[in-house]
Amino acid sequence: MRGSVNVSCDDRRVIAIRPRPVRSVALACLLVLGVSGCGLSAELDRESNPERKPTPTPTPAVEVPTRAANPSPSGIPTHSPSVPVQETQGCPPSGLRFRADEGDAAMGLRAMGLDVINCGDRPYKLNGYPAVTVLDASGDPFPGVRTVEGTDKVSMAPEDPGPRALTLDPGESAHAALYWRMHNQDGVYLRVAPEKGDGTVTVRPPYPLDIGPENILGTTAWQPSA
């Protein structure tokens, strides 16, 4: 019959292509086993966690070290109760109250503002520079820190406007600026007076002055507060 082909059992071409179905069957078996294994694992997971919620990972306990109450910031000297400072309330007998601000810093130059307020009931005259001494945490002066009138001896400090006669009426204030170069020991207090020879008071600035042990503190003259 046309189209029929007699193939003998020992035809090598037929024998050569028979191993291919065997490999395909083996591969199919491996795939079935793999899928069956994945299906079994998924089924066991569904049985143990039917709502399919993720199993939470236990969080290890963190032990928090205890600290002393209200520790002092590192590197900042603590206030000594034995150092008498200006009262925070009321008006001193002199009728003047001093206040130092938080200060500023740039390129190794330090600056701090100093204000004097007439809290009394009569006018007060000023004409010159504040008298300032830097004290350490014990209230003792730094022997190597000297205060000078003007800013010429403090590198990069702004120009001092110079002294002028001022009259502070009750409630009015004047301002001066203090300049120094950064150093490695902190001054904690300032002993201040309106001018040399006047009575002094001790104030504590919000932050220490990194000015010691040897340095120059330059002061500007009193100016009307802006």
Give the pTM.
Answer: 0.65
- What was the pLDDT predicted at 64? 32
Pairwise CA distance, residues 187 & 29, whole Å: 85
Task: Give the CA dihedral 136, 137, 139, 141, nearest 10 degrees.
Answer: -10
Run of H or E residues at 13: helix 12-17
Pairwise CA distance, residues 193 & 219, whole Å: 13
- What was the pLDDT predicted at 50? 55
Q: What is the pLDDT along the chain (226 residues), one digit of tens a residue?
A: 444 444 444 444 444 444 444 455 444 444 444 444 444 445 445 555 555 555 555 544 433 333 333 333 444 455 556 799 998 889 999 999 999 999 999 999 999 999 999 999 999 999 999 999 999 999 999 989 999 999 999 999 999 999 999 999 999 999 999 999 999 999 999 999 999 999 999 999 999 999 999 999 999 999 999 7
Pairwise CA distance, residues 7 & 208, whole Å: 107
- What was the pLDDT predicted at 88? 83
Which architecture does CATH list for 96-224?
A: Sandwich (2.60)
- What was the pLDDT predicted at 33? 41
- What was the pLDDT predicted at 43? 45
Pairwise CA distance, residues 34 & 55, whole Å: 25
- What was the pLDDT predicted at 30? 42
- What was the pLDDT predicted at 78? 54
Domain range summary for the chain, segments of one domain joined by +: 12-48, 96-224
Pairwise CA distance, residues 133 & 83, whole Å: 14
- What was the pLDDT predicted at 70? 35
Task: Give the angle subtended at the CA of 208 by the CAs of 202 and 213, to the nearest 5°.
Answer: 90
Tokens (6 digits) for 172 = 């009015």
| Contact (Cβ atoms closer than 8 angstroms) between residue 80 and residue 204 | no
